[in-house]
Amino acid sequence: MSILGKLSFKDQAFKLRENAILDATTMILKDKGFDLMTMDDVASAVGISKPSLYKHFKSKEDLVGEAMIRLIDGAGDFLDQLDKDLKPIEVLSAMLEWALRVRLEGGMPFLPSTSAHVRDMLTRNLKYVGRVLKLNYQLEKLVAKAQKSGDLDASLPSDVILFSYYSRTCDPAVEFLQRYSKLDNEQIIKHMLQVCFAGLHGPRCD
Amino acid sequence: MSILGKLSFKDQAFKLRENAILDATTMILKDKGFDLMTMDDVASAVGISKPSLYKHFKSKEDLVGEAMIRLIDGAGDFLDQLDKDLKPIEVLSAMLEWALRVRLEGGMPFLPSTSAHVRDMLTRNLKYVGRVLKLNYQLEKLVAKAQKSGDLDASLPSDVILFSYYSRTCDPAVEFLQRYSKLDNEQIIKHMLQVCFAGLHGPRCD
DNA sequence: GTCTATAGCTGGATAGAC
DNA sequence: GTCTATCCAGCTATAGAC
């Protein structure tokens, strides 16, 4: 059933507009960042007035929080859909590949890394924090399993692996390559995955 | 000879104050970022008034540009001081180690990755761009040599290696580990270097 | 060169008509 | 719920006195 199935026509229109607002917010966040994104930007991108925007979201922080939550939910949905027979390392690789592809296709900003201000704002958003903790819990378990099976370096603290893994989803090297290299999106994804797991040395025996 | 050696007392004081301003700017940039840093923040951190600040730097963009230039110059100085007998891969490792240590000790923000706005601003700063290009040229040569000798993966495009290498200097995993793990600074540096060069899999034969 | 004071603008948020 | 018009805070940058 569609998520719109049980709503009245008016509510459907409301939901659709809300999604359009979140789409616009995501795009603007991606290339201006939180501090420079204005509510006027969002309103005019959607084609509504600023006060109408405030009928949907009570503040700029609330709006951005909802956009980030939609992002995390997308990641969670992708994770849940993955084949249950995949090895943990394959799940982690598929998740990173998905995140990179979404980003290369104009999608997500992954703000949390950007600035202390934005990070604090999101930390105060309990709904957002809840989603993050849930996803983090699932990924922690995958990392632990992959370390046990030898697919991830067991000599590294799992914190180091997990945070490095997260950081790759918002690695600025992606934008550099998209801007300055002749590689296409699929090549960029392939190489970023290789660098993440095999490092800059490349596969070798030490 | 000190850089102050040939200046009059008044000019010495002027230079010292300028350095104090750049120190304060660097610190504030580090934890608020460009957009949220105000000229009042800088002036009051140094203990002078805003108009006095504008006697030293003609705009906020100019001030931040000079702070970034001082940062790049520091990296260049460190590179020039390194033992000339080191292998290219050892030089690259030492440079990254230096950058991580400076950052962990409260130093540098490495803004360019942050936002398109800041990146464009710096791109318009010809003095800054010149310094970056010079440093980039030296690092490109080191990467090429290390790829030839097999110390860096020769199957990867050199762009991918260079941009990934730059990205590690501002990897948000560092802040995450500093904030949420129990590792001390030296351990963080060691692990970040290992992850950069050997990857998350760890050393192995494929 | 240093300050106090302020101009000029931008952007988040809202009042109030329809 | 939608709009036009506006308030108010905070910021960059400068005028002008000392």
Q: A200 and B153: CB-CB below 8 Å? A: yes
Cβ within 8 Å of residue B67, ≥6 positions away: B22, B25, B26, B29
The pLDDT of residue A194 is above 90: yes
Residue B204 phi, psi dihedral angles, 5° rounding: -170, 165
Q: A198 and B194: CB-CB below 8 Å? A: no
Q: B183 and A157: CB-CB below 8 Å? A: yes
Mean pLDDT value across residues A133-144 = 97
Largest CA distance in chain A: 65
Which residue, counting CA atoms, is nearest to the C1' of nucleotide C14?
A51
d(CA B114, CA A109): 11
Contact residues, chain A, for B113 at CB < 8 Å: 172
Instruction: Tell me which chain B residue has its CA closest to the CA of residue A118.
Output: B32
Residues making up chain B, counted from first to last: 206
Q: Which of A157, A171, A192 sits opposite B181 (nearest CB)?
A: A157
Chain B residues 28 to 57 whose Cβ lies within 7 Å of strand D are 37-40, 50-51, 54
Q: What pLDDT, on the 0 to 100 scale, is given for residue B62?
A: 97
Whether the CB of B117 is less than 7 Å away from nucleic strand C comes out as: no
Cβ within 8 Å of residue B122, ≥6 positions away: B65, B68, B111, B112, B128, B129
d(CA B190, CA B182): 14
Contact residues, chain B, for A116 at CB < 8 Å: 31-33
3 state DSSP class of B204: strand
3 state DSSP class of A144: helix
3 state DSSP class of B170: coil
Contact residues, chain B, for A160 at CB < 8 Å: 173, 177, 181, 183, 191-192, 195
- Using the 8-state DSSP alphabet, how is residue A179 labeled? H
Q: What pLDDT, on the 0 to 100 scale, is given for residue A11?
A: 74
All structural domains of chain B: 1-58 (1.10.10.60), 59-198 (1.10.357.10)
> CA Rg, chain B, in Å?
19
Q: What pLDDT, on the 0 to 100 scale, is given for residue B8?
A: 72
d(CA A147, CA B16): 52
> Which residue in the block uniquely carries the two structure tokens 């050696």?
B5
**If contacts are CB pairs under 8 Å, which of residues 145-164 in chain A contact chain B?**
151-157, 159-161, 163-164
Q: Rounded to 5, what percent of chain B is helix, strand, coil? A: 75, 0, 25
Q: Residue A92's closest CA among A41, A23, A164?
A: A164
Q: What pLDDT, on the 0 to 100 scale, is given for residue B202?
A: 87
What pTM, to 2 d.p., does this model score?
A: 0.92
| Cβ contact A7:A15 at 8 Å | yes
3 state DSSP class of A147: helix
pLDDT tens track, chain B, 206 positions: 455 556 677 777 888 899 999 999 999 999 899 999 999 999 999 999 999 999 999 999 999 999 999 999 999 999 999 999 999 999 999 999 999 999 999 887 676 666 788 999 999 999 999 999 999 999 999 999 999 999 999 999 999 999 999 999 999 999 999 999 999 999 999 999 999 999 999 876 65
Task: Tell which strand D nucleotides have any atom below 7 Å from a protein Cβ.
Answer: 1-5, 10-16
**If contacts are CB pairs under 8 Å, which of residues 116-135 in chain A contact chain B?**
116-117
Q: B117 and A36: CB-CB below 8 Å? A: yes
Mean pLDDT value across residues A105-134 = 87
Contact residues, chain B, for A31 at CB < 8 Å: 116
Chain A residues 16 to 45 whose Cβ lies within 7 Å of strand C are 36-40
Angle, vertex CA B100, rays to CA A191 and CA A103, nearest 5: 35
Q: What pLDDT, on the 0 to 100 scale, is given for residue A206?
A: 54
Contact residues, chain A, for B163 at CB < 8 Å: 172-173, 176-177, 180-181
Nearest Cα of chain B lies from the Cα of A7 at a distance, in angstroms, of 39
Task: Tell which strand C nucleotides have any atom below 7 Å from a protein Cβ.
Answer: 1-5, 10-16
Cβ within 8 Å of residue A179, ≥6 positions away: none
Nearest Cα of chain B lies from the Cα of A39 at a distance, in angstroms, of 16
Q: What pLDDT, on the 0 to 100 scale, is given for residue B137?
A: 97
The pLDDT of residue A118 is above 60: yes
The pLDDT of residue A119 is above 70: yes
d(CA B80, CA A68): 44
Ranking A16-30, A107-121, B82-96 by mean pLDDT, the lowest is A107-121
Q: A177 and B199: CB-CB below 8 Å? A: no
Whether the CB of A55 is less than 7 Å away from nucleic strand D comes out as: yes
| Cβ contact B111:B34 at 8 Å | yes
How is A74-102 classified by DSSP, letter by letter? HHHHHHHHS-TTS-HHHHHHHHHHHHHHH
Residue B10 amino acid letter:
K
pLDDT in tens, A73-87: 999 999 999 999 999
